[in-house]
């Protein structure tokens, strides 16, 4: 029969073992809790990154807003963004085409049509170039073109001239143009963005203009659907035409 001393020792050992097991269980619960919290935190961070990368109008694999239709692939000319701000706004729904003749549409909209302007050169240069037309329609330019797409800021002229050499058509508007009218132009861009650039131009003497290599459509005033007709007709006539044409995307999967 165990003595009192032996009985007390047995109970002390049992108590210490119970305390050890409880401490071990508590540590396990704490570790599991930290792990779950870590997974949740990681998921939140990933979600934030995805939202930021998408920007306005959703996002694509390049990280630019999907509605900007930025194209930087080497197979499409290897253009770069050069710090210009992509335009992820959703454009307005284009109205039906009323006048498919460029000359008649330009006249109806009160726009000036200047075709077959002098070719000012093709050399790759660094630094500033003085162009003879405003907006520029040809001339020496940066070695790297501006990437196709819509922008909220005015790209460097030397970059956009290179883009026109590759057969791009560039839609331009005064930053003072009301946003509703800017979005109408954005809608024209979005209906067929391949081989196109859209951006504000604070330096030109027009509210709206479209340029291609050695060709210019300049509109002193935006006249709604009449101007949009002229822009579309200019696009359809000159897109893809340039001294060094480069393919442009034709399907949504080609963008970004």
Q: What is the pLDDT of residues 61-97, one digit of tens each?
A: 568 999 999 999 888 899 999 999 999 999 999 999 9
Closest to 168 measured CA to CA, from 83, 89, 69, 91: 69
Q: What is the DSSP letter of 191?
A: H
Give just the sign of the alpha carbon dihedral 101, 107, 112, 117.
positive
Q: What is the DSSP letter of 176?
A: T
The residue-averaged pLDDT of 128-144 equals: 98
Q: Is the peptide bond before 203 cis (omega within 30 degrees of 0)?
A: no
* 202 in Cβ contact with 172 (< 8 Å): no
Query: What pLDDT score was predicted for residue 12?
Result: 58
Tokens for 201?
Answer: 């131009």
Tokens for 18?
Answer: 């119970």
The CA angle 248-253-256, to the nearest 5 degrees, is 70
* 148 in Cβ contact with 240 (< 8 Å): no
Query: What pLDDT score was predicted for residue 20?
Result: 61
Determine the Cα–Cα distance for residues 69 and 190; give it in Å rounded to an integer. Answer: 8
* 222 in Cβ contact with 207 (< 8 Å): yes
> Around Cβ 77, how many Cβ atoms within 10 Å?
26
Q: pLDDT category, 30, cuts 50, 70, 90?
A: low
Query: What pLDDT score was predicted for residue 31?
Result: 56
What percentage of residues in the chain have a pLDDT greater than 90? Answer: 70
Contacts of 168 (CB under 8 A, 6+ apart): 145, 148, 195, 196, 197, 212, 239, 242, 248
């Amino acid at each position: 029969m165990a003595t009192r001393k032996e009985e007390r020792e047995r109970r002390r050992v049992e108590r210490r073992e119970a305390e050890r097991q409880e401490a071990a269980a508590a540590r396990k619960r704490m570790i599991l809790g930290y792990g779950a919290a870590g997974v949740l935190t990681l998921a939140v961070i990933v979600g934030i990154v995805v939202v930021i990368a998408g920007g306005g109008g959703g996002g694509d694999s390049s990280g630019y807003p999907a509605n900007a239709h930025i194209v930087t692939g080497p197979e499409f000319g290897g253009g770069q963004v050069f710090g210009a701000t992509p335009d992820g706004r959703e454009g307005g729904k284009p109205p039906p085409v009323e006048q498919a003749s460029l000359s008649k549409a330009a006249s109806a909209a009160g726009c000036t049509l200047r075709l077959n302007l002098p070719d000012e050169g093709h050399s790759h240069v660094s630094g500033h170039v003085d162009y003879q037309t405003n907006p520029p329609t040809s001339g020496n330019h940066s070695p790297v073109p501006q990437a196709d797409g819509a922008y909220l800021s005015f790209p460097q002229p030397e970059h956009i001239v290179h883009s026109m050499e590759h057969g791009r058509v560039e839609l331009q508007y005064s930053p003072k143009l009301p946003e509703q009218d800017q979005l109408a132009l954005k809608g024209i861009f979005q209906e067929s963005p391949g081989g196109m650039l859209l951006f504000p131009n604070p330096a030109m003497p027009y509210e709206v203009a479209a340029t291609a290599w050695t060709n210019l459509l300049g509109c002193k005033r935006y006249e709604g659907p009449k101007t949009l007709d002229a822009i579309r007709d200019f696009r359809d006539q000159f897109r893809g035409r340039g001294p060094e044409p480069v393919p442009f995307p034709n399907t949504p999967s080609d963008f970004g």
